[in-house]
Amino acid sequence: MEFPKDVRYTKEHEWVRVEGNVATVGVTDYAQDSLGDVVYLELPGDGAAVTKDETFGVVESVKAVSDLYSPISGAVIEINDALVDSPEVINDDPYGDAWMLKVEMSAPAELKELLTADEYKKYVEEEK
């Protein structure tokens, strides 16, 4: 299981990677492993507002349907259309090609509330 150190994590198993004021969002390796084979993904459109800890989409696997929760607040500036067409990529590359959204952050201070890689790894180990 991967826990990249260049991203921050939520307890709902989303990750965020920040470059400037843009946050890239996806689901963690632990999340994709727990879900099993992903078969469907629903994401908001460009320009949509997302709010920290509120749902922004849905991921469906052969096992379950799960809401996706935004780790940060802001405006969606890009969605990964290729991922919507091929959601199985989430199982293959959760921290790379399976990014879901790019969000222009409206409250960068929210990042301080997210978990580091070490904190998230410990959280996952306790949750198992």
Provide the whole-model pTM.
0.94
Residue 46 pLDDT greater than 90, yes or no: no
Between strands 38-42 and 55-61, the pairing is: antiparallel
Name the burial class of residue 49, with classes exposed (0-12), middle (13-18) and buried (19+) by CB atoms within 10 angstroms of its CB: middle
What's the confidence (pLDDT) of residue 49? 97
Q: What is the spatial distance between Cα 110 and Cα 8, in angstroms, rounded to a whole number?
A: 11
Q: At 38, which helix (H) or strand (E)?
A: strand 38-42
Fold of the CATH domain 8-107: OB fold (Dihydrolipoamide Acetyltransferase, E2P) (2.40.50)
When pLDDT is averaged across residues 95-109 and rounded to a whole number, the result is 97
* pLDDT, tens digit (0-9, with 9 covering 90-100), for 59-89: 999 989 999 999 999 999 999 999 999 999 9
